[in-house]
Structures are given as structure tokens and as C-alpha cells.
Amino acid sequence: MAVAGMLLALSVQAEQITGQACYHYSDNESLIAARNIVLSLAKRDAIESYSVFVASSSLLDNAQLRNDAVSSVGAAVLQDVKIVSNDENLAERKLCVKIQANIDPIQTKQAIGATVAAFKGRPSVENLGLPSNRDLRSVRADRTSEGEKVVVYCLTGYRDRSAGGYASAVLTVRVTSLDDSGIPMIQSKETIFCLDRGDVENKTLKVATRAASVQIDLVESQ
């Protein structure tokens, strides 16, 4: 009887989930980078549609917290990811992928619980979106103890645009802390130099302690 119970417990540890996504990539993006992005989007779809994650939605009532939970589950719990269908329309620059993966419901609950616990005590700051321009695509923003960590993907680089001049590949990430009324409190800036197209850079920028939201901008350095 004990052996049967143990076998049953083992049999329900892993559950299979699926996710899918499509992504249109720009003329300045490489095919390899676009494939990585669409795969990440499909993994996110699989996690967010998973029943255990859906059941925890009431705990994840903050956009940043939800992003943290998806990242935590994706990094620690998602296993044996396989691509089950892959459609690449290179003429229209559109990639679609469907994946399946195994996931442990208990570990998922633990990862979400740990993420929520770590988030408690932080300022409740809403991220107002991830911008892009002709040179940069911001692909992720995470709250850390030091501030807002922004991850950006270089759509162009100095080597690609050397004829256009050095300054064209030097960009600035700007984070503005806003109060409850949307009035700016402080502003932080960091410079990014894109040497080659496809480079990935991350910068952590200071956020006001009592900020209600943050606005991220990407601007060309003068």
C-alpha cells in the first residue's frame, strides 16, 4: 500500500503543458534573435495558461510581480521543453512556434510562493510598458533592490551603421519615477553603446522609494 502511494505521488509530480506564440520581426533583427524571442513568448504562454499558475492569479495582482513569477517558474520549474510545431514565413518575417514541456505543480506553487514572499515589502510600483525604437527593443524590466533592471536588445550597432556616424549607435535608457498623480519625482539615465546588432545589454536605474509607477524611455544620445 505504501509503495502504491509512493508510485501515485511520483506519477502526479510532472504535468505536461503547451504554449504557442507568433512574432513579427523587423528588418533590423536577426533570425536567430527572433527565434529566441518567439520561443520565450511561447514558454510564457505555457506558464500563464497552466492551471496552477491561473489559480494563483489572485496573488499576482501586480504586473511586475506576475513577470517575476513567470521568470521564476520558467527558470526553475519548466523542464523538457520541446518544439512540437514551427512555422517560419521568412517572406513576411513572421515566426510561429508551439512547445510542450513538463512542469511540477508542487514546485510551481513553491516558486510562486517564494516570489510573492520576496516581493513583499517592496514598493508597489507599476511598470508602464516596454518601449522600442529603431535602435533598441526593451525586452524585459525587473524590480530589484537596487532599482529597475532594464534588459534591451540592440537592433542596430556601430559596425552596422558606421557610415552614419558613431553617435547613431549610442543610446540612452531613461527611467522616470512617477507619483500617484503621474507627476515625475526623479529621473535616472544610463548610456548603452551597441557595438553590434544583436547585442543584449542590461542596466539598473534608480527608482524613487515612494514611486507609484515607472516610465521607461529609449532615446538617442546627443
User: Is-contact 212 126, C-beta < 8 A?
Assistant: yes
**What end-to-end distance do the CA atoms of the chain give, in Å?**
73
Calculate the dihedral angle through the C-alpha atoms of 57, 62, 67, 71, rounding to the nearest 10 degrees: -60
Residue type (1 letter), 148:
E
For 115-136, write each residue's pLDDT tens digit. Answer: 887 776 555 555 555 667 666 7
Residue 159: the pLDDT is 56
Q: Which domains does the chain have, with CATH numbers?
A: 15-119 (3.10.129.140), 126-220 (2.60.40)
Cell representation of residue 86: 514551427
* 213-220 sheet: strands from edge to edge: 126-127, 213-220, 170-178, 184-193
**pLDDT surpassing 50 at residue 39:** yes
Cell representation of residue 28: 533590423
- pTM across the whole model: 0.53
